Amino acid sequence: MKYLLYFVIIFVLSSSHLYTQSKDSLGKYLKFEDAGGFDFLLTYFPSFYLQNSIELKKFVRSKIFKKIRLTYGDVKAMDAVFIRSMALTKNNTAISLLISTLACFDHQLVGLKNPVLSIFFPLTSESEVEFYKRVENLPAHIYDDSPRGKIGDRDKLQHFFGSAFISFVFESRDPVDRTARFIELFEDAVIIDGAYDERDLRANCQGSEFGFALLKNNHRLPSEFIKGPCHTDKFD
């Protein structure tokens, strides 16, 4: 009996040690890397941009990213997406936000409503297997009021990062403020399966604040803004 007790103690201690090691190894994906020189300029070239976009999608599909979600939660997983994009682009903030948006697209096709026929445009070059694996791995529960289930609020990620990109590139929150509600109305009227959603506006607002803050410090994190209050009435 005492030998069984020894085995139980050893197993518990080993499991705890392995968990600590695993958490430590994942922690590096939640820390920014320092990039010196002008290496970030190379990431504007199409070949580098495309490769970095592919690599970020691959990261979201990975077992490592899934472990980050399980260990740290979905909000910190959003941080990991942005931090990884910054590492890939050598701290090119604009390109990082753009490829983060693309890596969070949860639609393979976008369809336009037409009285005669439906027109669809591809949003990704991934295979069907790659696409569904990536989407399944996307953070889904980023808000306290996120719907239960696997889908949750994963569609809000593209709104958040997309608005951050626009706000950062134009160095102003105004473009997002002026167009956010119009885009929602357009989506409801023109996009197949599109629907007007006030919660999309919240993600747009928070993303806009994030992008604008990156102008002063490009090592800010999505988690600092995704839980913060945002007044969507300014979109009216």
pTM: 0.82
Predicted confidence (pLDDT) per residue in 36-64, tens digit = 666 777 777 888 889 999 999 999 999 99
| Rounded Cα distance, 172 and 9, in Å | 58
Q: What's the angle, vertex CA 39, arms to CA 36 and CA 41, rounded to 5?
A: 130
- Tokens coding 50: 């495309």
* Six-digit token string for 18: 């392995």
Cα–Cα distance between 80 and 61 in angstroms, integer?
13
Q: What is the pLDDT of residues 167-187, one digit of tens each?
A: 999 999 888 877 766 566 555
Distance CA 94, CA 209 (A): 15
């190379």: which residue's tokens?
42
Whether the pLDDT of residue 70 is over 60: the answer is yes
The β-bridge partners of 119 are 112
Is residue 11's pLDDT more than 50? no
Helix (H) or strand (E) holding 202: helix 198-214
Q: What's the average model confidence in pLDDT over 84-105?
A: 96
pLDDT band (50, 70, 90) for residue 119: low
Asked whether 227 and 145 are in contact (CB, 8 A), the reply is no
